[in-house]
Structure 1
């Protein structure tokens, strides 16, 4: 099944709380990541590229190679987002992993892959829209979250069997102490290896009544999320926002979305459209709204649609409606 998850990330509030607990100023972090303070004060959706910038900033400010592990350890269970809370109250570790894999994409466009073989298994996480390697603290935090869930859920200080990291060579002693196993850096994958028998460990935190309330709500959110935001929808939203500031172009939109121009064009092609087609659609819709205001003259309308001159707007509009903007306006006003 092709999943329709847009490159939009809702930063969980518990991350900001965790940063405070380890002594990192949120305002200083956002300055380091070159992101507006509104990311914190008015929580909305950011891109994978911007999310990576936050995690890179966490490392740059702390200078601590184990900051990702410390952040996860500092998160209070009661403040976990619903997707992780459902995992914490799962029946066992396998059930918890399946819930994480299903629901985490409500906040983050990341996939969890679990593979079992003989008495071992491994978990690998992959980002759907990443164009660069994940920052090391984010990789650590993602894998540490899985271990922290099973440790808190079972009440047992379980260890992994092996951790593979694509990190550059570093002192892994703190990582080995945290995961309780050998940590291999410079690997081809970021993977958490586990003893397969641990997947069947029951959770002392299992709460069937709470899951009966959480799961249907999360499933409904998942259905809505899958159909709510396509890549094309996001591009259209950005085009509409940029129109009055001038003629939107591919470089401007790709920068805003945190993807390369090539990726932007490829993703639109996969959805059966193109940048120029979306721009034309957005302009046409906006033109109808602007022309409905008799106080705006046609030159103003052309400028608000990002056209350099009125004649360019007239040519485009005639292709859309087979009549001039003034004729269309008169007809609409007469029918009102």
Structure 2
């Protein structure tokens, strides 16, 4: 199994096949994304290209909610990549979700955090390594796929308990019909909440022999990827999750890493960086990522990267890039437009 780097994502062949099934031509998506048509046949794309493809799909479909429901319902199980195939053949829904969360660590760009409390299970979607935040349609597809996995595996039309999205999602009623529950938009997180009793349902697709073959290979790949991460990488990843919540001091990060402040500082010094430098780098990377999304206002971007006032963000961004946020965004749009003529 290939192990793409943090900035190289492998698009499953089933994605393009599924698009054709719902009447969307891959060539049209590539053109709308302003990318070379070879993106359809190339096995790996950058994170920015990956997001552009999803955004283009949403624009062609016309409504984010419709695009989510159509594609999630159409995607064929046989087209799943190995890590997803292992989840489909899990023992039960809980086992499938835990496997999905575990193996997502080696498949950028999203990361899943699962928490069971009482009679409910919440699955929160986050972005790995301070990479670009995914477009709303990708967020929706990811959460819809998690529910679709349970439906196909158990053979029951399961319903979610609640669904939350950070951004507007188009026809919310269509999403509520699909998920079978209330859908909240403009929340502070992207989260799917399930009933714990559904997690105990066995999978009719359970295949013990296939799992014995797939699991060792996936675990080796995961171990290799984890061993390649430096302390700096891990700090940046945690920071990317904490900025909007106002918890990004070194004490918070050290606690999440299971070490003392002194130990964390020593490990970072050994790698030739400081916590302050990593905080600045993470903020810069995330600011650039958010600004690439024209739907986000600059004041929203300032908040998302941990600045309480917009003026402080402007000063910081100019020191990083030599441009104001508005000028940087305009320059990127000009660059994207130039790709069309190439």
Q: Could you tell me the TM-score, scaled by structure 2's length? A: 0.63
After superposition, residues 101-250 of structure 1 pair within 5 angstroms as 101-129=101-129, 133-168=133-168, 170-226=170-226
Rounded Cα–Cα distance in structure 2 between residues aligned with 1:184 and 1:20: 30
CA pair 170-11 structure 1, distance change in 2 beyond 3 A? closer
Partner of 2:72: 72
Runs of 4+ in 1 over 6 A off after TM superposition: none
SS at structure 1 position matched to 2:123: strand
For structure 2, the residue ranges without an aligned partner over 5 or more in a row are: 233-267, 274-342
**Does structure 1 conserve the Cα–Cα contact (< 8 Å) formed by 2:143 and 2:192?**
yes
CA pair 63-129 structure 1, distance change in 2 beyond 3 A? farther
Rounded Cα–Cα distance in structure 2 between residues aligned with 1:35 and 1:102: 32
Pair 1:54-2:53 in alignment: yes
TM-aligned CA deviation for residue 113 of structure 1: 0.3
TM-aligned CA deviation for residue 18 of structure 1: 1.3
TM-aligned CA deviation for residue 80 of structure 1: 0.8
TM-aligned CA deviation for residue 129 of structure 1: 4.3
CA pair 79-171 structure 1, distance change in 2 beyond 3 A? closer
Rounded Cα–Cα distance in structure 1 between residues aligned with 2:19 and 2:164: 26
Alignment deviations for residues 181-226 of structure 1 (CA, whole Å, 9 cap, x no partner): 1111121111101111111111111110110011111122223344
**Does structure 2 conserve the Cα–Cα contact (< 8 Å) formed by 1:7 and 1:129?**
no
Partner of 1:310: none
SS at structure 2 position matched to 1:116: strand
CA pair 12-169 structure 1, distance change in 2 beyond 3 A? closer
TM-aligned CA deviation for residue 30 of structure 1: 1.2
CA pair 45-156 structure 1, distance change in 2 beyond 3 A? same
CA pair 270-84 structure 1, distance change in 2 beyond 3 A? farther
Q: Could you tell me the TM-score, scaled by structure 1's length? A: 0.64
**Does structure 2 conserve the Cα–Cα contact (< 8 Å) formed by 1:18 and 1:72?**
no
Aligned-residue Cα RMSD (Å) equals: 2.8
SS at structure 1 position matched to 2:116: strand
Rounded Cα–Cα distance in structure 1 between residues aligned with 2:150 and 2:198: 9
Alignment deviations for residues 289-311 of structure 1 (CA, whole Å, 9 cap, x no partner): xxxxxxxxxxxxxxxxxxxxxxx
Partner of 1:100: 100
CA pair 269-182 structure 1, distance change in 2 beyond 3 A? farther
**Does structure 1 conserve the Cα–Cα contact (< 8 Å) formed by 2:164 and 2:192?**
yes
For structure 1, the residue ranges without an aligned partner over 5 or more in a row are: 233-267, 274-336
Alignment deviations for residues 101-156 of structure 1 (CA, whole Å, 9 cap, x no partner): 12234332321101111111210111114565431211110001101110010000
**Does structure 1 conserve the Cα–Cα contact (< 8 Å) formed by 2:119 and 2:195?**
yes
CA pair 72-271 structure 1, distance change in 2 beyond 3 A? farther
Partner of 2:318: none
Partner of 2:13: 13
After superposition, residues 256-335 of structure 1 pair within 5 angstroms as 272=272
Aligned residues between the structures: 236
CA pair 42-133 structure 1, distance change in 2 beyond 3 A? closer
Q: Which has the larger radius of gyration?
A: 1
